[in-house]
Amino acid sequence: MRPLQHGPRMAAAAGAGAARLRSLPRRSSLPCRATTTSSMSRRRRQAPVLVAATTREGAKTTTTAAAAADVVREFYAGVNRRDLAAVEPLIAEGCVYEDLVFPRPFVGRAQILGFFGEFMGTISPDLQFVIDDISAADPAAVGVTWHLEWRGRPFPFSRGCSFYRLLDSERQLQIVYGRDCVEPAAKPGDLALVIIRGVTWILERFPSLASRL
């Protein structure tokens, strides 16, 4: 059997069809956007962080957790500068301040400013408070850990922690309560547990003594 042979007309038609196909405009390919795990995590990291806020309509003031922590930072900055005038508006008129080194709390702005005024007037400005950590998640309560430094060097027995409660007062955020707990110079260690066990043993046998605590 002889193989089929294409005539000249058929070959010419096939060539013209191929030429028309080549002359048609090609469809531009759209870029494919790949969403990788790294890009998704990057978007999550860049998401805005919302801070809880409470607004008092009367005074048109807004209290945020960040603002409460900033007030406490300003308080320590004012003490470090020995600037009593800067500290005064941060303390509410009826503030109660407990420094556990002293037997009784300081009550009222006047007493508290008197205490810090004496501190600023008698302690060298080379002794500075350094904030180690500060909480900023609560719009009305702030916790701080800190230590003292003398010309950039840690001061002995000076680590402490403080708690502050703040409220909108006099159209600004002010400290209404504070408590300082400072590292003791004498550290009894296990002896402290012995003392606590001894005291609780006495109270269990003589309950009436608890009223004298």
pLDDT tens for 8-24 read 444 444 444 444 445 44
Tens-place pLDDT, residues 116-172? 999 999 999 999 999 999 999 999 999 999 999 999 999 999 999 999 999 987 678
Tens-place pLDDT, residues 170-180? 678 999 999 99
In the predicted model, what is the mean pLDDT of the chain? 79
Question: Does 52 or 207 have the greater pLDDT score?
Answer: 207
Question: Does 37 or 101 have the greater pLDDT score?
Answer: 101
Tens-place pLDDT, residues 30-61? 444 444 444 444 444 433 333 333 444 444 44
Question: Which residue in the block uniquely carries the two structure tokens 């009305």?
Answer: 140
- pLDDT value for 101: 93
Pairing of strands 172-182, 91-99: parallel
- Tokens representing 111? 């007493």
- pLDDT value for 31: 43
- pLDDT value for 34: 44
Q: What is the distance of C-alpha 16 from the center of its chain? A: 76
Global pTM exceeds 0.85:
no
Tens-place pLDDT, residues 91-100? 999 999 999 9
Please state, in angstroms and rounded to a whole number, the distance separating the CA atoms of residues 100 and 178.
11
Binned at pLDDT 50, 70 and 90, residue 63 comes out as low
**What CATH class does 53-182 carry?**
alpha beta
Binned at pLDDT 50, 70 and 90, residue 200 comes out as very high
Question: What length is written for the chain?
Answer: 213
Looking at the chain, the whole-number percentage of residues with pLDDT higher than 90 is 58
Residue type, 23: S
- pLDDT value for 89: 95
- pLDDT value for 110: 97
- pLDDT value for 132: 98
